[in-house]
Structure 1
Amino acid sequence: MIKSYRYQAEAMVKDYLLADSFLPYTSVLCGIFTCKMAYDLTKLVSSVNLKSYASLTKIQRIEWNNRGMSSAHAVFITMMSLYLVFISDIFSDQPKEPVTLRSSNISTFTLGVSVGYFLTDLAMIFWLFPSLGGFEYIIHHSLSLCAITYAMLTGEGQLYTYMVLISETTTPTINIRWFLDTAGMKRSSAYIINGVVLFFAWLVARIFLFIYLFHHIYLHHDEVRQMHIFGYLLAFVVPSSIFIMNVMWFSKILKGVKKILAKRQ
């Protein structure tokens, strides 16, 4: 009896939830549901194990939980992006169809989970504006959401989408910095170490990696041109816009690191 129900459930998942036509929408719902779980889990763990959590204001607790949610997404999407870009053979240079037109069920599903996250986070930003971020966050999330959704639905440009998503590797360090500051640990060694880690992670994932991405687009421009015009424009506009914001934010990080080290000395 149990085996019968299990087989029926597996068949339903395979034939409907993971079918090609339903996969993008299933993955988006999965992403939204996972965000809710991560938010609630952060709230539960923090309220039980951290005394300082109870002393936070309502807005601070919401942002605390939101950052736990964004960290969970960052860890997931970074691991999947690194695997799909550098380990799997989906986007390898072996003679296949153009690299800009390649996709798979796993790559599409992963993008859908990320779409679910950006939808959830953007909704929270609008709901509590500007407590969770100003217009720069809305611009960043809107550009990311547009590019990721397009790549998920069409299968075009997924390689470059994942290259940009690798930059999410800096999100946990950004959140840890905020956690430590909010918990009154701004002068601790952990805060300084995290700041140095953030500096190098940002330099690699949001500066050097984007330079590599632009170089890759240049080398494979003939393949990029085979995308639809909207996808072709996204391949240039979105990474370029995000890169400009990355450079602006990096200058602030650099100033912060210099300031902290100067005080330390």
Structure 2
Amino acid sequence: MDPFSQLILAISVTSFLGFQWLFHRASPWVSTHISPGFLVLSDKQKVEWNSRTVSTLHALLVGLFCLYILFFDDAVNKDPAWGDPTLVKINVAITTGYLISDLLLIFYYWKAIGDKFFVLHHLAALYAYYYVLGQGTLPYFANFRLLAEFSTPCVNQRWFLEVLGYPRSSRPNMVNGVAMAGIFFLVRIAVMPVYYGRMCTIYGTEAFYRVPWGGRASWIGSSICLDLMNVMWMHKIARGCYRVLQGGRQSAAPGALQHHQHHPPPQENGKVD
């Protein structure tokens, strides 16, 4: 194994251990000190809280690194199929460690955070990252896909607000809802023309056919499936955002302010009545 491959392996292992430490140690300690509501959550809710905290930190770390590569890594941007994947491999190695860590937590705490969809998502992502880390293929597209992580913090924040008992018509929920819809659209929908435009520029070229068949199938197939789901999710998020804003206007009417003055207690399932 060459020195750089050893470095990538070390980054993946360090990432795995780091995210395990964040879940088991850092998140519970910090949450206890900054959010009194954390103490009254059920054990299942605390598991999901810590999982979402780690997810948010991973999204911000990887997303910012992704932006740096997108704007400043000329080698990858000029040759999206075979450009120098050094920085992309480092970013993907961080994500690989996180995905393996999250899979372990999902299986161990299945009753609290178990989800077949997330297991399939993580396994599919790890399969695709095998070609990036092992063969250095399609670094531009692997990095571009990580832009979607920027929508994760707002999605997690929505859950935090609900489990703490904030009404959907409250100002924090409305602000987060608008931000979630806007960011989700920017990083998952608005970027589609750019992504598929670059895909078309190399489709059928020599560089395209140098990519192993499995890598091509994983790249094209997963891209189409993910973006179909993104469009459906965007539709649901837009409708939800509209309902929250409508509820906010209604709560501003006379008599409604008193009704929403106090937050209801968190429910066992993390939702509010």
TM-score, reference length from structure 1: 0.86
Structure 2 alignment gaps of length 5 or more: 250-273
Output one character per residue of 1:146-199: Cα deviation in whole Å (capped at 9) or x when no partner.
212321121101110111111000001111111111111133201111100100
Contact 2:47 2:112 (8 Å CA) reproduced: no
Q: Which residue, 5, 17, 28 being the options, matches 1:43? A: 28
Contact 2:82 2:137 (8 Å CA) reproduced: yes
What aligned pairs does 1:84-95 form with structure 2 within 5 A after superposition? Answer: 84-93=69-78
Which deviates the most, 120-129 or 251-260?
120-129
Distance 1:148 1:192 in 2: 36
Deviation at 1:145, TM superposition (A): 1.9
One-letter amino acid of the counterpart of residue 38, structure 2 = Y
Asked if 1:138 is matched to 2:123, the reply is no
One-letter amino acid of the counterpart of residue 35, structure 1 = F
**Structure 1 outlier segments of 4+, above 6 Å:** none
Aligned length: 245
Indicate the residue corresponding to 1:6 in structure 2. none
Contact 2:174 2:244 (8 Å CA) reproduced: yes
Indicate the residue corresponding to 1:151 in structure 2. 132
Asked if 1:73 is matched to 2:54, the reply is no
Indicate the residue corresponding to 2:80 in structure 1. 99
One-letter amino acid of the counterpart of residue 52, structure 2 = R
Contact 1:38 1:72 (8 Å CA) reproduced: no
Indicate the residue corresponding to 1:248 in structure 2. 232
CA RMSD of superposed structures (Å): 1.9
Distance 2:52 2:190 in 1: 25
Distance 1:210 1:26 in 2: 33
Distance 1:247 1:206 in 2: 8
Between the two proteins, what is the percent identity of the paired residues?
23
Distance 2:193 2:123 in 1: 22
Contact 2:69 2:87 (8 Å CA) reproduced: no
Contact 1:210 1:239 (8 Å CA) reproduced: no
What aligned pairs does 1:12-31 form with structure 2 within 5 A after superposition? Answer: 19-31=3-15
Structure 1 alignment gaps of length 5 or more: 1-15
Q: Which residue, 199, 219, 229 being the options, matches 1:235? A: 219
What aligned pairs does 1:53-202 form with structure 2 within 5 A after superposition? Answer: 53-93=38-78, 98-129=79-110, 131-132=112-113, 134-186=115-167, 187-202=169-184
Indicate the residue corresponding to 1:263 in structure 2. 247
* Matched residue SS, 2:221: helix
Distance 2:8 2:227 in 1: 27
TM-score, reference length from structure 2: 0.84
Distance 2:135 2:61 in 1: 22
* Matched residue SS, 1:131: helix
One-letter amino acid of the counterpart of residue 195, structure 2 = L
Asked if 1:216 is matched to 2:198, the reply is yes
Distance 2:148 2:220 in 1: 17
Task: Choose between structure 1 and 2 for higher RCO, CA contacts under 8 A separated by at least 6 residues.
Answer: 2
Contact 2:76 2:85 (8 Å CA) reproduced: no
